[in-house]
Amino acid sequence: MRSLKILPAAVALCVVPLAANAQQPLSPSEAVDKIVAQEQAEVGLLRQYAPLVETYIQYLRPDKQLGAVPDGDKYFLGRAELAKGVDLEPLDRDSGVKHKVFGSWGSFFNMEFLPRGFLQMIYLDMNGFDRQHYKIEYVRREFLGEVRCLVFDVDPVKKGDKGRFVGRIWVEDQDYHIVRFNGAYGGSSLVSNYFNFDSWRTNVGKNLWLPAFIYSEEGSVHDSRTRNMGYKPFRAQTRLWGYDLGHSHQEQELSKVLVEASAGIRDQSEAANDYTPLQAERSWDHQAEDNVTDRLERQGLLAPYGEVDKVLETVVNNLEVTNNLDIQPEVRCRVLMTSTLESLTMSHTIVLSRGLIDVLPDEASLAAILAHELGHVVLGHRIDSQYAFINRVRYDDKDTFRHFDFARTPEEEEAAKQKGIELLRNSPYKDKSGSAQLFLRALKSRAKEIPNLISPHLGDRVSTSWSIASAVFAAQSSEEKPEGGEKPAPNDKPTANAIAALPLGGRIKVDSWNDQLRMLKSKPVGNVAEAENTPFQITPFMFYLTRQGANLPTANPGAVAAKLDTETKP
């Protein structure tokens, strides 16, 4: 019987031939020349990739207590075809025609949001970043995480030149890659608008920095002029991942040398190697699970098995142990890469989306979601066994969400809900159900304002399980009621400043190269004001940049920055 548990490198494929083996002190003009040359090489380098791109937008409205709260949203998921510039192939179920904007879009100065417009923000200037079109002025040195950067202000030579970048760039001081740029494209008009954005690139190998995240924002809920002009302020995040899609891991597996251990001669008549009909059926379902998960992982929609999956499996193990369950085959957990809030079960595989894990406030809330999905496993709700045939998982990427559907019937959902309540009641999380209740209440109260965030791609909406924690909470209180006395107040009521749900991106860090997920490690933030505690909101994102091991400095680049400190106008 298993015991109760307590929760407790990228690959370089391309080297841009611009970096010298050893750095020499540069003049400001020489440094700018290197930056321009490296950015031009970056634009050419990106043409070989086709990452997944997800853009999520929230409209905002003023709130007396919270300042600004979500008031409608839009969502897009697709694959970028960077060989064609900023072309996109939609993957989301309702996208319809290629390049069609996010379903039925609202207007922004009578304009629609274009997914490719947000993708364009991975480039500083698609028309060419050079000294003929830009003034580049040195500002200072600054660390972004562990990476020392040179900071420059950038402006077009001709004011009002449409589509030219206006803002600030951060340049790592070894090979002069632009790793962050903050500003907007200039030349907006009543028929063409560019939004403020903050674009980040991360180091995934020697001399290789790739776009990973873009934060956009326009308008303010405190500005009456924006409301009077008939549009809502908004915030948006764009994520890119799946540049490599795990091919290097598969190659490593293929190259491993495995030696079969010697074994003594056994009497085959005594060996229990044959499958019973029940075992054969379970094995068939297991094969269907493997076919689906392998296909989704190859597409970049499912994260490779790793650290976060083990955290989920620890919670599932705690639920099993305290309920005396011995489930065979063992329950596995995987993570869907998308921001949408959803959960699903494929026979003995439980899948939670990254976005859902991101916003859950604590382990007890995670346990409430997992208990519901474990209920499906215990009740034997199976996967479609047709997926065990390999031809059933061969399809065009754009048809993924039309091809797969793991939503359950209302009857199965109700049965799993009751079983989940039973599992939680006997679990180590039964005394902490208040936070789970608070999370699910917040999700229900915000559902109308974030319909696209809670619309699932593959499974069920989390809101269908809203009463799980409530029922456990009530059952626990009922059990504690003394004879002839009043029912005692629950001892785990959330405090007045309890966090109902985290903002998007609150827990998971994504490696955009190989899709590996890691839990964020951050310092405590102290007191949280009520206006800072808006569940499910989009917030700016600050990367703690690091260099991969193969890209460590070979010489002290301090002389370059020191030179720039004395001459601030390249």
| pLDDT per position as a tens digit, 125-135 | 988 899 999 99
What is the spatial distance between Cα 372 and Cα 418, in angstroms, rounded to a whole number? 8
Closest CA to 150 of 29, 15, 35, 33: 35
Residue 108: the pLDDT is: 36
CB neighbours of 6 closer than 8 A, spacing ≥ 6? Answer: 314
Task: Please check whether residue 456 is in contact with residue 464, taking contact to mean a CB–CB distance below 8 angstroms.
Answer: no
- The single residue listed with the structure tokens 């951050």 is 522
**Angle (CA) 311 279 316, round 5°:** 15
Most confident range, picked from 252-256, 488-492, 558-562 = 252-256
**Residue 372 reports pLDDT greater than 80:** yes
Amino acid at position 548, single letter: Q
Looking at per-residue pLDDT, the higher value among 138 and 24 belongs to 138
- The single residue listed with the structure tokens 């494209």 is 185
Residue 438: the pLDDT is: 87
For residue 329, cis peptide bond before it (omega within 30 degrees of 0) = yes
Task: Please check whether residue 561 is in contact with residue 173, taking contact to mean a CB–CB distance below 8 angstroms.
Answer: yes
What is the spatial distance between Cα 341 and Cα 453, in angstroms, rounded to a whole number? 6
**Residue 100 reports pLDDT greater than 70:** no
Looking at per-residue pLDDT, the higher value among 127 and 514 belongs to 514
Q: Tell me the average pLDDT of the chain.
A: 78
CA atoms within 13 A on the CB side of 217: 12
Task: Please check whether residue 73 is in contact with residue 537, taking contact to mean a CB–CB distance below 8 angstroms.
Answer: no
CB neighbours of 84 closer than 8 A, spacing ≥ 6? Answer: none
Q: Is the dihedral of CA 551, 556, 562, 564 positive or negative?
A: negative
Amino acid at position 390, single letter: I
Residue 15: the pLDDT is: 35
Closest CA to 83 of 43, 114, 128, 111: 43
Residue 364: the pLDDT is: 92
Tell me the pLDDT tens digit for each residue of 57-98: 999 888 877 778 888 999 999 999 999 888 888 886 554 433
**Residue 410 reports pLDDT greater than 80:** yes
DSSP summary character for residue 302: B
Q: How confident is the model at residue 436 (pLDDT cuts 50, 70, 90)?
A: confident
Residue 492: the pLDDT is: 43
Task: Please check whether residue 91 is in contact with residue 100, taking contact to mean a CB–CB distance below 8 angstroms.
Answer: no
- Burial of residue 8, with CB atoms counted within 10 A of its CB: 0-12 exposed, 13-18 middle, 19 or more buried: exposed
Looking at per-residue pLDDT, the higher value among 13 and 406 belongs to 406
